[in-house]
Structures are given as structure tokens and as C-alpha cells.
């Protein structure tokens, strides 16, 4: 049964089976009954993503970096336990890295909590182990058992453990797969392949798992599990064919097919949390295939796991219990007719992991604010980590502009969205996606939006026509459909600016590499500057931008004929030129 979560963390359950979902396709909203209660645009209690209750005034905290013996095993247990503990009220916060500690300080500075009580590992278990009453033991020979144990713990209120650490917990653990509520030693179930474990879990737990989200998570990732456990979010994983060499229990084709079946069974227009490859990019089907699949099944992907750049998000069971009011304004700007105006937009803020990690690094850079810049934001982070978004809005410089990103509620491949559904349902799902996206655009107060890639003119027009959108910034870098003639076009009376540059394909951790990337980008900009004046350019900044000095150096190298402005200012200047 689908679940709707209010900002008080209460649950409203709505009866909706797959059969009923198909059978009501002639109902409201263009012929499709959606899983979300239909909100008014100003309904503050409506949320796409699950939200916790507000944090306790005293928050207990533990640094997982203090763990030594079986550290990964203990982190797995703690993250899952955190989800059970924080279900009634967020009381436990885990420090997975220094950024978690920065955000803990921000929670206190904002007034979400009054006091931090630091605990040692023994104190954590003394305080919180009574919250669970049964044990789910993973099978070291079957990676999928980690995700299955997490779902079992979420549904039945149990503790996840590995054989390395389980003897200390003294909790009951059964061996009968017909009574999983009694605890379970997953080593005893005789699964031959990972897919066997997933099929068993979804057959047993289907009706008890949330319909508000799904997750794709590599089994060894830990931090996100507090949120997945708290809200009983189902977890999948899809191995790539190459993974079967290292993991003989993997079966890529079967896992892909099963994931598609589950995603199509779950409602449209919900988030697919996690990420479809491992942080080292050595496992999983990868971003392209993973986001393709999610998009075809009408799921958007807020990246919440390690994507090789920013680590997995933890403590969402705490952050999602906060709230924020987010507002921004556009400083006035006056057109000079002989100039080239350009705007930087920094990529990947559609990912909650980037917001938690890399954006904080760039915002705290001493050079932050030296040049105007647009920051992509995935708007449903307004549900998952509003306190983190609040930090950026409160610490924004006059040149900072927040851009709704990739595209609408979250990261999608626009041309593939809802392609897995019949045409009549596909259209209704897309219309509902746009309606919900408009609500979340307003919540982050963005007037401009970024898209991922080229799409049909009809879909681009739909996006441009979203209420409140004044400008569209298209494409994750220049592509083979970009020409001098279509750098700026208009759709539905809204300007569309296409990215003019490709990334410098080089790591930029050394000074010399950063200078090389700067030179490459300057050359891209000047090569793709049209002859007419004024000119208006969208310069795409991807993950090669590792510090803010790089943006400043690019601006200096371009000279006085080029003027850097915010994305929303570029829209204003474009219209000033049209009037002139």
C-alpha cells in the first residue's frame, strides 16, 4: 500500500494494488491515478520523499571513525539500528566523515538541537540496543543478503549483523524462512544466487515495504541505510556482466529484469535512491543504464550513494526531520550592447550527496563569491535534507543563483521518462511529473532550470511552460546537436541556453592540471562565442571544477569583453537585448 508522509512523520496508508493502478487509468489527472495525494501548490504537509519527525533537543552522536575491529561490520549494524531508533524521533547521529560533523554543528547553530551528547560505542548499544528484539544475520558468501537483511530489519524492527560481530548481541535468530519475524540467519536459507535472495525478500515483504520510494544500492555501502530502514524502503541491486567474474553469485540479466519488474510495480513519479554503480565504478550497471532504467519506469534519481565524487549520504533520518524556507532574489543588471555575457552553472547538485559534500567544500572555499555562479539543486532535497539546503541559501553571495536541476524533481533522462508504460499512461505520468516538479521548483525558489540532454521539442516545451520558469539551461555539456545557431533559442516564450563547452577530460587535483583545465575551457568559450553582440553563453562547470579559483581564473583570462553573470541575470539581459 502506498504511503504518504507528512512533515510530522505520520503515515497515511492508501490502498492501491498494481491491478487497481492499471484499472483506474481513466481517472483524474489525464487518465492516471497517482500514488500521491493531490496537493494544492501551497500544501506544506505534502512531501514526495519521506520525512522524519523533528530531531530530539538532545542528539546523541558517535564517530564511526573510532571503530577499529570489524569496523565495516559495525558501521552496517549501527546505520540500520539508527533507522529503527530514529523512527519515533531522531535521537542518534552518526559521524561517517568530517562533513557529517560540519552538518551536526549546523543543526545546532540553526537551533534544530540544543545539545550534542557524544557517546562511545558501548554507550551507543547500552542506550539504543533495546529498540530491537531480533537479529538478521548476513551471509558473507552472498552480497545480496546485506540488502535483504536491511529490508527484514526495517519491516520487523530487528538488528542487522554479520557473523563477525553477532555473538555479542544475544538476540533471537530463527532459521525458518516462513517466520522471518522471529529473526533469521540468512546463511541457512540455501540461496544459490543473489537474485534468489531478492526474489524471496520481495515475495515475503512486498505488502510491508514503502511505496513512496525505491533504492538501488551496492551491498557494501552503509550510510544511507538509516533512511532506508526508517521508512521501509525496498532495496535492489543490479550487477554488470563484468561483476560476475568477482562475484559468482551475480546474474546481471536476471537482476536487471527483476529490478525492472519491481520498478514497474511500484508507483510512478517516486524517487529511486542510492546509485547504480559502486563508488569505485567497479561494480553495478553504471549511471547511463541505471538512470535509463529508472527513467523508463518513471522514477527520478536523487544520487544519495557514492558516485566516485561524493560519498554516500548518511543521517537522512535526522536531516529529513528539519524544515527550511528558501528564498532568493535576482540583483538588477544593465545590458551593454558590445559585450559577451556568460553564466557558469556548476553541475551535479541534483545529487543529495553533492549537496552534503562537494558543494560544502566549494561554498567554504575562500574564493567563493569572487565570480557569479549558478548551483544546480535537486529540488526534492527540500524533503530529505532541508537544513543542508538552508546552509547554502543563508551563505549565498550576491553572485550565487540556485538552479532547479536535471530535470524538475530529480535526475531523469528526459527522452526516456515513463517509456515503459503504454502511451496513454505515459502522457498522464509525464503531466503529473511536471505538476509535482512545479511545486518543488517553488519550494527552492528557482526561476531557472537545467536539463540533462536533448529531447523532443514537445517535452522541452512542457518544461519551459512549467509555472515560474523564466529560463532553461540545456544539456550536460555541449553535444553533437549544438550549433552556433541554436546556442540560444526560445520555446513557449522562454529562452533556452545550450551549453557551449565540453569538459576537459583530465583529473584536476594538481595545480598544473587545474591550469590545463582552465586553458581548455577558455579555448572552448572563445571558440564557441558567436560573432554578434551582445552574445549570451551558458558555460557548464562539471566535476573538474575542484576549487573556486579555477572559475575566477577563467573569467580573468577571457578579458573585459566577457562579463560573467548569474543564470537568472543572463535571462534578464537576453530580454533587454530583445527589447532594444
Q: Evaluate whether residue 427 is within a structural domain.
A: yes
Q: Evaluate whether residue 553 is within a structural domain.
A: yes
Residue 158's pLDDT is what? 98
Q: Which domain holds residue 414?
A: 340-579
Q: Evaluate whether residue 48 is within a structural domain.
A: no
Backbone torsions φ then ψ of 90, nearest 5 degrees: -60, 115
Backbone torsions φ then ψ of 355, nearest 5 degrees: -60, -40
Is residue 511 over pLDDT 90? yes
Q: Evaluate whether residue 95 is within a structural domain.
A: no
- Do residues 344 and 378 both lie within one domain? yes
Q: Evaluate whether residue 440 is within a structural domain.
A: yes
Is residue 56 over pLDDT 60? yes
- Do residues 247 and 363 both lie within one domain? no
Summarised one tens digit per residue, pLDDT across range 533-580 is: 999 999 999 999 999 999 999 999 999 999 999 999 999 999 999 998
In the sheet with 58-63, reading across from the earlier edge strand, the strands are: 92-95, 58-63, 115-118
Q: Which three cell numbers stand for residue 387?
A: 537544513
579 CB contacts (<8 Å, ≥6 apart)?
A: none
Q: DSSP string spanning 277-338?
A: B-TTSSSBS-HHHHHHHHHHTTEEB---S--SSSPPP--HHHHTT--------PPP----TT
Q: Evaluate whether residue 3 is within a structural domain.
A: no
Residue 42's pLDDT is what? 58
466 CB contacts (<8 Å, ≥6 apart)?
A: 408, 434, 437, 438, 441, 449
- Do residues 346 and 282 both lie within one domain? no
Residue 480's pLDDT is what? 95
CA distance linking residue 222 with residue 551, whole number of Å: 34
CA distance linking residue 113 with residue 387, whole number of Å: 12
Q: Evaluate whether residue 431 is within a structural domain.
A: yes
Summarised one tens digit per residue, pLDDT across range 394-426 is: 999 999 999 999 899 999 999 999 999 999 999
Summarised one tens digit per residue, pLDDT across range 151-201 is: 999 999 999 999 999 999 999 998 899 999 999 999 999 999 999 999 999
Residue 535's pLDDT is what? 98
Average pLDDT over residues 493-504: 97
C-alpha gyration radius of the chain: 24
CA distance linking residue 279 with residue 26, whole number of Å: 43
Q: Report how many helices (DSSP H) and strands (DSSP E) the chain contains, helices first.
A: 21, 21
- Do residues 285 and 411 both lie within one domain? no
Cα–Cα distances in angstroms (integers) from residue 355 to residues 50, 169, 305, 320, 378, in the given order? 18, 36, 12, 14, 9
Residue 282's pLDDT is what? 86
- Do residues 488 and 554 both lie within one domain? yes
CA distance linking residue 466 with residue 464, whole number of Å: 6
CA distance linking residue 78 with residue 136, whole number of Å: 13
Closest to 342 (Cα-Cα) out of 471, 156, 529 = 529
pTM for this one? Answer: 0.93
Judge contact between 313 and 267, C-beta under 8 A.
Answer: no
Looking at residue 267, the DSSP 8-state letter turns out to be: P
- Do residues 407 and 457 both lie within one domain? yes
The domain boundary residue, chosen from 319, 349, 380: 319
User: Per the structure, how many domains does the chain have?
Assistant: 2
- Do residues 303 and 450 both lie within one domain? no
Among 7-11, 91-95, 330-334, the range scoring the smallest mean pLDDT is 7-11
Summarised one tens digit per residue, pLDDT across range 114-135 is: 999 999 999 999 999 999 999 9
- Do residues 301 and 344 both lie within one domain? no
Q: Which three cell numbers stand for residue 386?
A: 532541508
Q: Evaluate whether residue 269 is within a structural domain.
A: yes
Instruction: Report the CATH number at residue 346.
Output: 3.20.20.490
- Do residues 432 and 347 both lie within one domain? yes
List beta partners, residue 274. 216
What angle do the packed helices 98-110 and 386-394 form, to 10 degrees? 80
Mean pLDDT for the chain overall: 93
The domain boundary residue, chosen from 319, 353, 374: 319
SS3 letters for 36-64?
CCCCCCCCCCCCCCCCCCCCCCEEEEEEH
Residue 2's pLDDT is what? 38
The domain boundary residue, chosen from 319, 350, 375: 319
- Do residues 279 and 376 both lie within one domain? no
- Do residues 209 and 268 both lie within one domain? yes
CA distance linking residue 453 with residue 248, whole number of Å: 36
Closest to 216 (Cα-Cα) out of 296, 160, 139, 147 = 147
Average pLDDT over residues 518-527: 98
- Do residues 203 and 280 both lie within one domain? yes
Amino acid at each position: 500500500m502506498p504511503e504518504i508522509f507528512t512533515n510530522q512523520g505520520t503515515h497515511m496508508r492508501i490502498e492501491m494494488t498494481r491491478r487497481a493502478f492499471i484499472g483506474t487509468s481513466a481517472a483524474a489527472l489525464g487518465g492516471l491515478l497517482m500514488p500521491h495525494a493531490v496537493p494544492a501548490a501551497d500544501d506544506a504537509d505534502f512531501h514526495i520523499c519521506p520525512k522524519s519527525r523533528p530531531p530530539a533537543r538532545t542528539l546523541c552522536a558517535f564517530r564511526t571513525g573510532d571503530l577499529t575491529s570489524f569496523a565495516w561490520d559495525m558501521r552496517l549494524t549501527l546505520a540500520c539500528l539508527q533507522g529503527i531508533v530514529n523512527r519515533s524521533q531522531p535521537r542518534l547521529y552518526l559521524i561517517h566523515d568530517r562533513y557529517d560533523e560540519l552538518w551536526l554543528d549546523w543543526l545546532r547553530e540553526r537551533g534544530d538541537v540544543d545539545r550534542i551528547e557524544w557517546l562511545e560505542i558501548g554507550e551507543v548499544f547500552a542506550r539504543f540496543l533495546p529498540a530491537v528484539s531480533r537479529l538478521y544475520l548476513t551471509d558473507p558468501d552472498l552480497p545480496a543478503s546485506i540488502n535483504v537483511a536491511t529490508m527484514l530489519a526495517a519491516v520487523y524492527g530487528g538488528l542487522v549483523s554479520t557473523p563477525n560481530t553477532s555473538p555479542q548481541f544475544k538476540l533471537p535468530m530463527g532459521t525458518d524462512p516462513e517466520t522471518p519475524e522471529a529473526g533469521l540467519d540468512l546463511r541457512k536459507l540455501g540461496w544459490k544466487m543473489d537474485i534468489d535472495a531478492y526474489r524471496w525478500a520481495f515475495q515475503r515483504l512486498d505488502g510491508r515495504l514503502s511505496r513512496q520510494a525505491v533504492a538501488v544500492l551496492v551491498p557494501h555501502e552503509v550510510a544511507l541505510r538509516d533512511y532506508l530502514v526508517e521508512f521501509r524502503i525496498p532495496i535492489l541491486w543490479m550487477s554488470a556482466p563484468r561483476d560476475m567474474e568477482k562475484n559468482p553469485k551475480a546474474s546481471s540479466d536476471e537482476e536487471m529484469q527483476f529490478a525492472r519488474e519491481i520498478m514497474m510495480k511500484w508507483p510512478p513519479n517516486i524517487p529511486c535512491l542510492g546509485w547504480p554503480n559502486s563508488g569505485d565504478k567497479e561494480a553495478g550497471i553504471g549511471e547511463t543504464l541505471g538512470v535509463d532504467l529508472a527513467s523508463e519506469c518513471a522514477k527520478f534519481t536523487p544520487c544519495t550513494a557514492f558516485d566516485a565524487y561524493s560519498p554516500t549520504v548518511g543521517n537522512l533520518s535526522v536531516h529529513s526531520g528539519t524544515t527550511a524556507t528558501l528564498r532568493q532574489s535576482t540583483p538588477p543588471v544593465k545590458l551593454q550592447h558590445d559585450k559577451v555575457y556568460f553564466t557558469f552553472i556548476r553541475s551535479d547538485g541534483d545529487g543529495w550527496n553533492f549537496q552534503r559534500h562537494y558543494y560544502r567544500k566549494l561554498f567554504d572555499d575562500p574564493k567563493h563569491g569572487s565570480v557569479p555562479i549558478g548551483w544546480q539543486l535537486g529540488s526534492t532535497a527540500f524533503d530529505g535534507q532541508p537544513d543542508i539546503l538552508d546552509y547554502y541559501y543563508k551563505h549565498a553571495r550576491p553572485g550565487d543563483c540556485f538552479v532547479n536541476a536535471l530535470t524538475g524533481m530529480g535526475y531523469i533522462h528526459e527522452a526516456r521518462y515513463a517509456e515503459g508504460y503504454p502511451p496513454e499512461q505515459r502522457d498522464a505520468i509525464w503531466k503529473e511529473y511536471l505538476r509535482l516538479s512545479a511545486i518543488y521548483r517553488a519550494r527552492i525558489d528557482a526561476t531557472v532550470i537545467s536539463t540533462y540532454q536533448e529531447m523532443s521539442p514537445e517535452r522541452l516545451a512542457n518544461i519551459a511552460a512549467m509555472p515560474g520558469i523564466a529560463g532553461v539551461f540545456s544539456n550536460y555539456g555541449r553535444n553533437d546537436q549544438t550549433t552556433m545557431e541554436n546556442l540560444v533559442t526560445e520555446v513557449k516564450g522562454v529562452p533556452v541556453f545550450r551549453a557551449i563547452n565540453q569538459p576537459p577530460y583530465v583529473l584536476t587535483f594538481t595545480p598544473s592540471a587545474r591550469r590545463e583545465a582552465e586553458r581548455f575551457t577558455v579555448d572552448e568559450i572563445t571558440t564557441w562565442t558567436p560573432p554578434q553582440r551582445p552574445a549570451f553563453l551558458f558555460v557548464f562547470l562539471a566535476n573538474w571544477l575542484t576549487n573556486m579559483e579555477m572559475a575566477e581564473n577563467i573569467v580573468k583570462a577571457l578579458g573585459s569583453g566577457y562579463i560573467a553573470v548569474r543564470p537568472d541575470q543572463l535571462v534578464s539581459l537576453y530580454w533587454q537585448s530583445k527589447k532594444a
